[in-house]
């Protein structure tokens, strides 16, 4: 992205400071998303500042930046949404955690998605635990009723899935991931 050059030092300083604030807000995003957002803001600033007004360059720029708004507020939901999209595409636990933290403030629905992602991670944790401690982790029944999905030290509980536990947990995790992704896409479609 090419920075806009202004004639007056005050205008240039205002612009540079505003762009710096934008960069700070979007630093968590992938480079291509950062570039897209920077170009979008830069384009808007350039086009708006080119409109002839009966004010000085600096006053005109101040007016443009005021209309764009405070980057820390304006970009909050955009960054959160883009991070969520990145998380659903990459399935990277770090991105998922960051996206959920950013989005919890955006509404109750994201709290719901946070819980679903927690269950998704729980399936992965159970698979790992089954590999480490196969006799104490599984789907346990006691006296014909469901007792535990996870780890138990109860000797009277019977593990019913045996060697099928890991494939079943993988299927559950993949299914839940697709359900979450579809729900997120549906939510975005309804929102737009």
Q: Domain segments of the chain: what residues? A: 1-74, 76-192
Over residues 161-187, the mean pLDDT reads 87
Of 96-110, 161-175, 178-192, give the lowest mean pLDDT range.
Answer: 96-110
In contact, 29 and 79? CB cutoff 8 Å: yes
pLDDT at 167: 94
pTM: 0.58
Q: What is the mean pLDDT of residues 127-154?
A: 89
List Cα–Cα distances, 4 to 11, 16, 39, 168, 189, in angstroms: 10, 9, 11, 56, 35
The radius of gyration computed from the CA coordinates of the chain, to the nearest angstrom, equals 25
What pLDDT is stored for residue 170 in this prediction? 93
Does the pLDDT at position 192 exceed 60? no
Segment among 32-46, 104-118, 128-142, 176-190 with least mean pLDDT? 104-118
- Quote the CA–CA distance of 133 and 22 in Å, as a whole number: 49
Strand partners, 158: 141
Which token pair is 157? Answer: 């509980």
């Amino acid at each position: 992205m090419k920075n806009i050059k202004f004639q007056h030092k005050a205008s240039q300083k205002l612009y540079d400071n505003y762009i710096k604030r934008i960069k700070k807000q979007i630093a968590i995003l992938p480079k291509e998303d950062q570039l897209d957002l920077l170009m979008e803001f830069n384009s808007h600033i350039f086009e708006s500042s080119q409109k002839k007004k009966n004010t000085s360059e600096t006053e005109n720029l101040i007016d443009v930046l005021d209309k764009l708004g405070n980057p820390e507020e304006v970009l909050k939901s955009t960054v959160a949404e883009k991070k969520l999209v990145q998380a659903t595409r990459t399935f990277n636990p770090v991105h998922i955690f960051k996206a959920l933290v950013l989005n919890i403030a955006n509404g109750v629905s994201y709290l719901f998605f946070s819980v679903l992602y927690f269950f998704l991670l729980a399936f992965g944790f159970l698979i790992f635990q089954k590999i480490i401690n196969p006799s104490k982790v599984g789907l346990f029944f006691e006296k014909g009723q469901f007792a535990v999905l996870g780890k138990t030290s109860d000797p009277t509980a019977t593990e019913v899935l045996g060697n099928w536990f890991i494939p079943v947990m993988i299927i559950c995790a993949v299914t839940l991931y697709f359900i979450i992704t579809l729900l997120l896409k549906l939510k975005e479609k309804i929102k737009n």
